[in-house]
């Protein structure tokens, strides 16, 4: 094979591990190696071999030797440049199982890049995380290396350091740790920004603030290191999605290097030899593997309590299964194509728990064993919980699933007007609404053609909800409910948990009552209570009701 740019020997070691199957590696690793090889085959790259060897010599100061995967990532991220002298892969994303040495890698990389070997003065590095403890992990590791009596005298000639800042005297480059607070960060002039465990971030707000300072120094870089987690639809999921698009050849990498390690299938967890797919350091860490075997035994005894073994060790998120209404995988499968439902029969569920927060409505249709849904919500901008909500509400407004109500409360007429509008398109047989809140809406719904007295309104009681828990669960498990690409509904559903109720029943609750709302999901549940009112299939059209 002919390479436009020769592959460095140190880089080839990990390529051989993957291609020659010296150790087990996942599909994403095989794809990444092909992506890297293609770049060396087709692009005019510059590899700074002198820089590589100098950087590698710094290992003697650390209490560990870099694993082959770390050398692979380090060289690509820091020592391979385009013909114009800029880094070929300026952004590195490392996602692997806990215990693989991600923080050690971060410590080594940051130490190297503030030295003269980097060749960029004032190359400040900010280590960012959701908590101070996490942000300090790599910083403290470098600090302890500088404090090592064996090298302390040498380091004092080249560095200044304290508990909050490490600086190289000659380059004037600094390392600092930053917590998850964007205020006051707009003035940063970072050369590199690290994001430690981005799975904990619920949105991009803080990440974006920390990265606005990039580009003011030569060779700007970002490094993301993380295990998987339980926050869904946040930055981590988007980084994973971007990685897969790149690895599958669906988009250009644009300088983004996706290093993902995970099991290929959940069932592989039962073969300890395959655990190294999720953790490429495992072949060199026998003590860690023994610890994982003990954790695996606990996982087999109680997968619910010990679900972190799959999420954190195997990089296969299972979530908090004793709380979730269904898996995240099942929630994602609601994003299917919704056919034209015009003139079809449906039932409506409304959740109207508070007029000063969210209100939601859900239309449920049935065609054979498949269900389709149309959802809409309203949000009162005067809500006392507004500042706690992490979901990007403006995106839901943009896609038409949310209406912002700039008033002291959400007036019932808004919901009734929506019902009236939908009734002109669809044949709404019946509405289900919480019996306690029905009085708030009763007059407006009566004007829209629905009344509890003529049984076109079902007053929902807690026992009605408990009776459909299994039906709702079955819809998700069998992937029979489709409501299209509706991130707000996915968020509502993800925020809902199952709680034990008397007589071996379950009820629905909120995972976190202030910042994680469930209104859309409860509107869906109310609609499911009326599911038996639906015809078995789209058997006929109807003439729309004309409301005078």
Question: Do both 308 and 184 map to the same domain?
Answer: no
Instruction: Specify the pLDDT at position 181.
Output: 58
Do β-strands 345-351 and 427-434 pair in parallel, antiparallel, or remain unpaired? Answer: parallel
Average pLDDT over every residue of 219-226: 94
User: What is the spatial distance between Cα 173 and Cα 435, in angstroms, rounded to a whole number?
Assistant: 64
User: What is the spatial distance between Cα 323 and Cα 519, in angstroms, rounded to a whole number?
Assistant: 17
Candidates 215, 216, 177; CA nearest to 194 is 177
* 187: pLDDT strictly greater than 60: no
CB 170 within 8 A of CB 116: yes
CATH of the domain at 387: 3.30.420.240
Average pLDDT over every residue of 365-374: 96
Asked if residue 99 belongs to a domain, the reply is yes
Question: Do both 254 and 309 map to the same domain?
Answer: no
Asked if residue 206 belongs to a domain, the reply is yes
Question: Do both 262 and 285 map to the same domain?
Answer: no
| 412-425 per-position pLDDT tens digit | 999 999 999 999 99
Instruction: Specify the pLDDT at position 186.
Output: 46
7 or 181, which is more confident?
Answer: 7
| Secondary structure class of 442 (helix, strand, coil) | helix
| Secondary structure class of 81 (helix, strand, coil) | strand
Question: Do both 119 and 46 map to the same domain?
Answer: yes
Candidates 491, 304, 342, 293; CA nearest to 402 is 491
**What's phi and psi for 372, nearest 5 deg?**
-125, 150
**What's phi and psi for 443, nearest 5 deg?**
-65, -45
- In the block, which residue shows the tokens 């819809």? 475
CB 524 within 8 A of CB 364: yes
Instruction: Specify the pLDDT at position 515.
Output: 77
Of the listed ranges 235-249, 295-309, 359-373, the one predicted with least confidence: 295-309
pLDDT band at 328 (very low <50, low <70, confident <90, very high): confident
Instruction: Specify the pLDDT at position 543.
Output: 45
pLDDT band at 226 (very low <50, low <70, confident <90, very high): very high
Candidates 412, 416, 399; CA nearest to 440 is 412
User: What is the spatial distance between Cα 134 and Cα 506, in angstroms, rounded to a whole number?
Assistant: 37
* 378: pLDDT strictly greater than 70: yes
Task: Quickly list DSSP for 149-163.
Answer: TTTHHHHTTTEEE-S
Averaged confidence pLDDT in the chain: 90
Average pLDDT over every residue of 332-355: 93
pLDDT band at 546 (very low <50, low <70, confident <90, very high): very low
Question: Do both 245 and 273 map to the same domain?
Answer: no
User: What domain range includes position 528?
Assistant: 328-533
The last residue of one of the domains, among 313, 348, 372, is 313
Element (DSSP H or E) covering residue 104: helix 102-113
Over the range 275-311, which residues count as b (16 or more CB within 10 Å of their CB) and which as e?
bbbbbbbbbebeebbeebeeebeebeeeeeeebbbbb
pLDDT band at 188 (very low <50, low <70, confident <90, very high): low
Asked if residue 127 belongs to a domain, the reply is yes
The last residue of one of the domains, among 313, 344, 373, is 313
Instruction: Specify the pLDDT at position 7.
Output: 94
The last residue of one of the domains, among 248, 266, 284, is 266
Q: What percent of the chain has pLDDT over 70?
A: 94
Question: Do both 502 and 514 map to the same domain?
Answer: yes
18: which residues sit within 8 A by CB, 6+ positions away? 25, 29, 30, 33
Q: What is the CA radius of gyration of the chain?
A: 28
Question: Do both 25 and 96 map to the same domain?
Answer: yes
Q: How many CA atoms lie within 13 A of 170 on its CB side?
A: 12
Asked if residue 493 belongs to a domain, the reply is yes
| 95-115 per-position pLDDT tens digit | 999 999 999 999 999 999 999
Of the listed ranges 252-256, 287-291, 328-332, 501-505, the one predicted with least confidence: 501-505
Residue 243 carries which DSSP code? Answer: H
| 443-466 per-position pLDDT tens digit | 899 988 999 889 999 999 999 999
Structure tokens at 424: 């002109």
**What's phi and psi for 160, nearest 5 deg?**
-120, 140
* 428: pLDDT strictly greater than 50: yes
Question: Do both 401 and 456 map to the same domain?
Answer: yes
Candidates 53, 76, 27; CA nearest to 278 is 27
Asked if residue 2 belongs to a domain, the reply is no
173: left (phi over 0), alpha (psi -120 to 50) or beta: beta
Q: How far is CA 86 from CA 77, 90, 109, 171, 293, in A?
A: 11, 8, 18, 19, 44
User: What is the spatial distance between Cα 419 and Cα 323, in angstroms, rounded to a whole number?
Assistant: 32
* 80: pLDDT strictly greater than 60: yes
Question: Do both 161 and 296 map to the same domain?
Answer: no
Asked if residue 497 belongs to a domain, the reply is yes
Looking at the structure of the chain, the number of domains it has is 3
Element (DSSP H or E) covering residue 360: strand 358-367
**What's phi and psi for 175, nearest 5 deg?**
-120, 130
Question: Do both 308 and 335 map to the same domain?
Answer: no
Do β-strands 402-405 and 358-367 pair in parallel, antiparallel, or remain unpaired? Answer: unpaired
10 Å CB burial of residue 34 (0-12, 13-18, 19+) is middle
Instruction: Specify the pLDDT at position 355.
Output: 80
Q: What pTM was estimated for this model as a whole?
A: 0.65
CATH of the domain at 185: 3.40.50.300
Asked if residue 289 belongs to a domain, the reply is yes
CB 256 within 8 A of CB 91: yes
* 182: pLDDT strictly greater than 60: no
Question: Do both 99 and 225 map to the same domain?
Answer: yes
Question: Do both 292 and 199 map to the same domain?
Answer: no
Asked if residue 539 belongs to a domain, the reply is no
Number of neighbours of residue 513 by Cβ within 10 angstroms: 12
Structure tokens at 163: 């508990």
């Amino acid at each position: 094979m002919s390479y436009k740019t020769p592959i460095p020997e140190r880089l080839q070691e990990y390529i051989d591990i993957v291609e020659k199957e010296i150790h087990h590696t996942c599909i994403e690793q095989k794809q990444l190696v092909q992506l890297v090889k293609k770049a060396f085959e087709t692009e005019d790259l510059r590899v700074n071999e002198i820089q590589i060897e100098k950087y590698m010599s710094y290992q003697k100061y650390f209490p560990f030797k870099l694993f082959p995967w770390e050398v692979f990532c380090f060289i690509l991220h820091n020592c391979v440049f385009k013909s114009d002298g800029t880094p070929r892969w300026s952004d590195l994303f490392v996602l692997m199982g806990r215990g693989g040495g991600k923080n050690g890698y971060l410590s080594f990389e940051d130490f190297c890049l503030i030295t003269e070997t980097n060749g960029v003065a004032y190359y400040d590095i900010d280590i960012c995380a959701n908590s101070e403890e996490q942000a300090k992990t790599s910083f403290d590791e470098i600090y302890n290396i500088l404090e090592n009596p064996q090298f302390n005298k040498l380091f004092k000639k080249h560095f200044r350091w304290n508990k909050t800042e490490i600086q190289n005297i000659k380059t004037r480059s600094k390392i600092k740790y930053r917590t998850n607070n964007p205020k006051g960060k707009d003035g940063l002039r970072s050369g590199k920004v690290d994001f430690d465990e981005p799975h904990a971030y619920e949105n991009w707000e803080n990440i974006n603030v920390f990265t606005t300072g990039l580009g003011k120094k030569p060779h700007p870089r970002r490094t993301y290191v993380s295990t998987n987690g339980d926050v869904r639809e946040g930055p981590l999921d988007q980084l994973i999605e971007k990685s897969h698009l790149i690895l599958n050849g669906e988009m250009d990498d644009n300088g983004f290097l996706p290093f993902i390690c995970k099991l290929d299938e959940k069932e592989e967890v039962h073969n300890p030899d395959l655990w190294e797919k999720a953790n490429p350091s495992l072949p060199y860490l026998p003590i860690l593997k023994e610890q994982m075997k003990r954790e695996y035994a606990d996982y087999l005894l109680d997968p619910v309590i010990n679900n972190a073994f799959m999420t954190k060790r195997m990089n296969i998120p299972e979530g908090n299964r004793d709380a979730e209404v269904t898996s995240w995988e099942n929630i994602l499968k609601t994003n299917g194509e919704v056919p034209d439902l015009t003139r079809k029969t449906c039932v409506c569920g409304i959740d109207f728990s508070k007029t000063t927060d969210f209100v939601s409505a859900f239309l449920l249709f049935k065609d054979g064993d498949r269900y389709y849904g149309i959802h809409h919500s309203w949000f009162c901008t005067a809500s006392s919980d507004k500042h706690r909500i992490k979901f990007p509400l403006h995106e839901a407004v943009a896609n038409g699933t949310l209406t912002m109500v700039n008033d002291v409360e959400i007036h019932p007429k808004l919901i009734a007007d929506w019902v009236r509008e939908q009734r002109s398109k669809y044949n709404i047989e019946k509405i289900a609404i919480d019996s306690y809140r029905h009085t708030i809406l009763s007059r407006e719904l009566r004007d829209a053609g629905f009344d509890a007295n003529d049984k076109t309104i079902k007053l929902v009681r807690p026992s009605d909800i408990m009776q459909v828990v299994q039906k709702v669960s079955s819809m998700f498990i069998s992937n029979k409910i489709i409501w299209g690409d509706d991130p707000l509904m996915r968020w509502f559903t993800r925020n809902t948990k199952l709680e034990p109720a008397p007589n071996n029943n379950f009820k629905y609750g909120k995972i976190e009552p202030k910042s994680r709302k469930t209104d859309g999901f409860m509107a869906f549940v109310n609609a499911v209570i009326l599911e038996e009112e639906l015809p078995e299939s789209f058997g006929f059209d109807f003439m729309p009701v004309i409301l005078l």
